[in-house]
Amino acid sequence: MLLALFLALVAASPPLVERLRELQFDGYQRLFTRERQSAPVVIVEIDERALREFGQWPWPRTQMASLISAIAAARPAAIGLDLLFPEPDRHSPENVARTMTGLPADLVARLRELPTNDERFAQALRAGKTVLAVAGLNDPDARFPGPPQVAPVRFRQTGELQLRMFAGRLASAETIDRAAAGRGLISVEASDRIVRRVPVLAEVAGAVVPALSLEMWRLAAGAPPLIDVAGRADGLIEIRIGDFRVPAQRDGTMWLRYSSHDPTRFVSAAEMLGGNLNLELIKDKLVLVGVTGLGLLDYQATPLGERVPGVEFHAQLIEQMFDSQYLVRPNWAKWLELALLATGALLLIAVLPGRGVSASGTLLLLVLGAIGVMGAIAFRFHGILLDAGLPALGTLSVFIVLLATALGESDRQRRALREAAARIEGELDAARRIQTGLLPDPLALRETEPGINLDALLEPARQVGGDFFDFFKVDLNRLLFVVGDVSGKGMPAALFMALCKATLKAHLARGGSELGTSLTRAAGEIARENREDLFVTMFAGILDLRTGMVEYCNAGHEPPYSQAPEGEVARYPIASGPPLCVLPDYEYVTEYHQMLPGEWLCVVTDGVTEAANAEKELYGSERARIALQSTARNATAGEIIAALRDDVGLFVAQADAADDLTLLAMRWTGPAADFSAPASPD
């Protein structure tokens, strides 16, 4: 929708769009100011110096005649007067005779016999190729009825033109006007007080009038009094004067391609009248005559930020025609702008979704840069006014909308993810509580069995894990304990852990057979439910509370650590069987170990031995043995677990846990009270 809006703005070009476009073209003018390659024009200015030396304005027509005669003597190519003389000269002899009272009759008669100042001025105008000014008026002026006498204009295949129309005109008095070789339009129109275009053809009081500069060019070239205007395929018109061709817009205007104000264009009328000027400076040149000494009365602003006298606009126009440095805006420029806008915006729409901010920003800069470079190249090297600003603005607007949409969608997705994470967090927390609830309470056992001091710890690497422990009495005198480790971590391992724990407990609690036989049967049942091909290592044992005999079976698990009252910390033999669910129908063997009164046993998972620090070093079994060796000989099961857990934590430091960590420790105090273990800190 935004793209469609900007396409409509480019196509319709409302006043605001035109204003923005003109400001952009002003920027091009400043950036690529025209360099003067030649100097075909000289401006003879009636400046402050001339007014001081020869009197205030308006001068008598005899003074103007002297100025024109002095210029004509230098043999210029043509003379153009950016001046109007609509009223008879009040300094003429007949006007003096009529307005001054008390003059002798013979003097009045003699004054009336003298030529008028207008006639003398007209005589001077006839001596050279002079062009007088015509100003267009919105309303007719009764002093100048009818159209001006100008060179005829012939139109060929131009279609319908939109020339500026003036209902009336302001020109010079008839005596003066008849003496001129040509007449040209001097009217300019300034949008927001800046002159950007001047009419080179306009309809004045029913006649098509060429610009002053164009008529001067015709006279200087010696072309016949006929101007041809032909249409072009690009929507412009071509003004033909002899072999000379000038492109213009269909409304008869021409964009001025400005060079900076240059004082060397000007010579003072005082120098011409005083005979102090080197006439070679204006020989074969197009000479413009204008007033610059009346303050800022006839000054206008240019896109370069300068204020220059009105006569200089005609000089700038002649210079760019002489050097063929035109500015045009053909019809296809608007279509190209539409294509640039559509291409840039659609490219962003197609590419940006799913891209990061840096990639999106880079693409935007490339697109805007390409549009801007095309506009600058068109102006600098081809003189084509291509509006890159509105396509760039439209593309930027589309980018902002896309970015806002992407950010909104990203925020929506983040909220959805947070909500999903919260749900998962709640579910995992519930799973953790359920998993923790499946584990037995060591405190309850210590309260009912004073002959055994047992404690256990499980810390999952994630919220739930695959490690487990269990202990329970299979009869009045035997305590079964199990520590297992399911392959993997997280929810899959936790679910498989629950299956293994329940199945093992069901088979081991039945009794009536050796531990290895029960474990074999449980492994077969677990394997039937193991569609994900998981496996579990496990150490299971049964302690006879009367004798201290441990009946155990190790299915691929870490061998436990143990310490007799006067011995060193040692390990049980390496596992005699593979993990459960690895080899189908494997027969696990039952083994035995005789504990002494006061001896303790500590079963660990590989979350201890394979704990890694930030340098990826493993904790190892030997470091665990040394940590256990450092505990006091009369330490409780809880103190043994705490010592090993603290040492592992010190080693790992800030590194993330690599695996679940599970510890189970128990100390057998003996069948009677001959070994008194300290009370548990719990």
**Alpha-carbon gap, residue 627 to 665, rounded angstroms:** 14
Q: Which of 310, 154, 130 is nearest to 220 (CA)?
A: 130
Handedness of CA 52, 54, 60, 65 (dihedral sign): negative
Q: Which of 662, 183, 667, 160 is nearest to 439 (CA)?
A: 662
**Alpha-carbon gap, residue 469 to 456, rounded angstroms:** 8
**Alpha-carbon gap, residue 388 to 371, rounded angstroms:** 6
pLDDT of the residue at 2? 76
Residue 657: pLDDT band by 50, 70, 90 thresholds? confident
pLDDT digits (tens, 9 = 90+) for 213-237: 999 999 999 988 889 999 999 999 9
Q: Is the pLDDT of residue 87 over 70?
A: yes
pLDDT of the residue at 475? 86
pLDDT of the residue at 285? 95
pLDDT of the residue at 410? 81
Q: Is the pLDDT of residue 108 over 80?
A: no
What is the residue extent of each domain of the chain? 35-135+170-201+256-322, 442-668
pLDDT of the residue at 673? 44
pLDDT of the residue at 191? 74
pTM above 0.85, yes or no: no
Q: Is the pLDDT of residue 170 over 80?
A: yes
Q: Which residues contact 600 (CB under 8 A, 6 or more apart)?
A: 562, 563, 635, 637, 640, 665, 666, 667, 668
Residue 195: pLDDT band by 50, 70, 90 thresholds? very high
The answer to whether 259 and 30 have CB atoms below 8 angstroms apart is: no
pLDDT of the residue at 164? 92
- Count CB neighbours of 550 within 10 A: 23
pLDDT of the residue at 464? 64
Q: Is the pLDDT of residue 678 over 60?
A: no
To which residue do tokens 């190249």 refer? 377
**Alpha-carbon gap, residue 619 to 623, rounded angstroms:** 6
Q: Is 26 helix (H, G, I), strand (E, B) or coil?
A: helix
**Inter-CA distances, 241 with 183, 227, 320, 338, 572, Å:** 15, 6, 16, 35, 115
**Alpha-carbon gap, residue 172 to 84, rounded angstroms:** 5
**Inter-CA distances, 442 with 502, 540, 545, 631, Å:** 19, 17, 16, 20
Task: Tell me the mean pLDDT in the region 356-369.
Answer: 89
**Alpha-carbon gap, residue 122 to 179, rounded angstroms:** 5
pLDDT of the residue at 376? 95
pLDDT of the residue at 675? 40
Q: Report the percentage of the chain scoring pLDDT > 90.
A: 52
Q: Is the pLDDT of residue 154 over 80?
A: yes
pLDDT of the residue at 427? 67
To which residue do tokens 């032909």 refer? 230
Least confident stretch, 53-62, 513-522, 617-626: 513-522
Residue 676: pLDDT band by 50, 70, 90 thresholds? very low
pLDDT of the residue at 463? 62
pLDDT of the residue at 428? 67
161-175, 396-410, 650-664: which is most confident: 161-175
Residue 356: pLDDT band by 50, 70, 90 thresholds? confident
Q: Is the pLDDT of residue 258 over 90?
A: yes
Average pLDDT, rounded, for the chain: 88
Task: Tell me the mean pLDDT in the region 152-178.
Answer: 92
**Inter-CA distances, 540 with 172, 479, 505, 589, Å:** 124, 11, 11, 12
pLDDT digits (tens, 9 = 90+) for 8-52: 877 777 888 888 899 999 999 999 999 998 899 999 999 999 999
Least confident stretch, 194-198, 407-411, 653-657: 653-657
Q: Is the pLDDT of residue 102 over 60?
A: yes
pLDDT digits (tens, 9 = 90+) for 424-457: 777 667 767 777 777 888 888 877 888 889 999 9
pLDDT of the residue at 296? 53
pLDDT of the residue at 189? 79
Residue 295: pLDDT band by 50, 70, 90 thresholds? low
CATH superfamily of the 442-668 domain: PPM-type phosphatase domain (3.60.40.10)
Q: Which of 131, 81, 92 is nearest to 114 (CA)?
A: 92
The DSSP-derived string for 503-535 is HHHHHHTT-SS-HHHHHHHHHHHHHHT-TT---
Q: Is the pLDDT of residue 247 over 70?
A: yes
Residue 677: pLDDT band by 50, 70, 90 thresholds? very low
**Alpha-carbon gap, residue 514 to 591, rounded angstroms:** 10
pLDDT digits (tens, 9 = 90+) for 577-609: 899 888 888 999 999 999 999 999 999 998 898
Least confident stretch, 235-249, 278-292, 409-423, 661-675: 661-675
Q: Is the pLDDT of residue 493 over 90?
A: no
**Token duo for residue 593:** 């170990």
Rg (CA), the chain: 53
Task: Tell me the mean pLDDT in the region 541-546.
Answer: 92
